[in-house]
Amino acid sequence: MRKNLFSGPEPDPAGDAGHRDPPPRVGFFTDTSVCIGCKACEVACKEWNAIPEDGLALTGMSYDNTGGLGASTWRHVAFVEQPAPDRGAGPPHADAHPGAGRETGRAAAPADETALTGTAAGAGAAGTPDDGSGTTRWLMSSDVCKHCTHAACLDVCPTGSLFRTEFGTVVVQEDVCNGCGYCVPACPYGVIEQRPQDGRAFKCTLCYDRLGAGQEPACAKACPTESIQFGPLDELRERAALRVERLHEAGVPEARLYGHDPDNGVGGDGAFFLLLDDPEVYGLPPDPVVTTRDLPAMWRHAGAAALSLAGGLALSFALCAPARRKGRR
């Protein structure tokens, strides 16, 4: 078994956690360019995992009634209203659906230019008045725990409540959690949270029970446009790169991937995204770094300081001993 690392490239996190011959690492690829904000993923997540109700009042910010991820919101659909980019005439037509041309077992969703670019006509279905001017667009994205390659929440957990599964995902065992809360500030994404009723921490498990039965997570199963795609992580990364290339060719230069790079600050996310704007627009940190990255260096510095202190004390005793013996004579 390889040495556990707090940062840097890690090709096999499940194997590093001690799983022998683990299956391929799995995860989510969320293509926000085809998200319609239906919240089917939120509902499916709550129903399957028996997550309690967390507030049905509108926040006053768009159609968002949950506000963000938390102990009782493991999937959160963000709604961002902004002026649409001026693309001029643009291409006459582009197939926006990521599943086009491959067998998925489900009917392909209708695809048109508005679904691909997120302009006002496409956004009108989500509640924005569509006057045909193309001056407003909705950016929608279903956020979730990133299941980081280097998961600080797992690294700081004193009870072993958080563990790495054979699928490379990170899961909280609620019956082992003691409510210490160390994991909450450790997460660079602000995902994990404690429930106020008992102080225990909760977050997405990537439907670990369903994975063990050979099923896909409930949110991906419920997504009508395949905005949430589940599968082997390496395959998803290849599919995402092709999707971005197609969007660029279709006249959407702002399309970019977020969290896919194994060389990023968390070693690559197990749940990554295709975004149509800067990460901050979606409430995501622009350059996340695992908060335990510097622990080895900190311990080295602390050890060096302790040795220096011990050496200084020993030297002081050594220098004072002759003077004390001389004084006694």
- Tell me the residue ranges of DSSP E strands in the chain: 26-31, 76-83, 136-143, 162-164, 170-172, 193-194, 201-202, 228-232, 256-258, 271-275
pLDDT in tens, 32-49: 999 999 999 999 999 999
Q: Report percent pLDDT > 90 for the chain.
A: 56
Beta-carbon contacts of 116 under 8 Å, excluding residues fewer than 6 positions away, are 33, 34, 94, 96, 247, 250, 252
Which residue is it, tokens 């999937």? 75
Residue 234 neighbours by CB under 8 Å, 6+ apart: 24, 25
Count of other CB atoms within 10 angstroms of residue 133: 11
Of 216, 275, 240, nearest in space to 44 by CA: 216
Residue of higher predicted confidence among 96 and 5: 5
pLDDT tens profile 212-256: 999 999 999 999 999 999 999 999 999 999 999 999 999 999 999
Cα dihedral across residues 32, 34, 36, 41: positive or negative? negative
Q: Are strands 228-232 and 76-83 parallel, antiparallel or unpaired?
A: unpaired
What pairs with residue 76 in β-bridges? 143
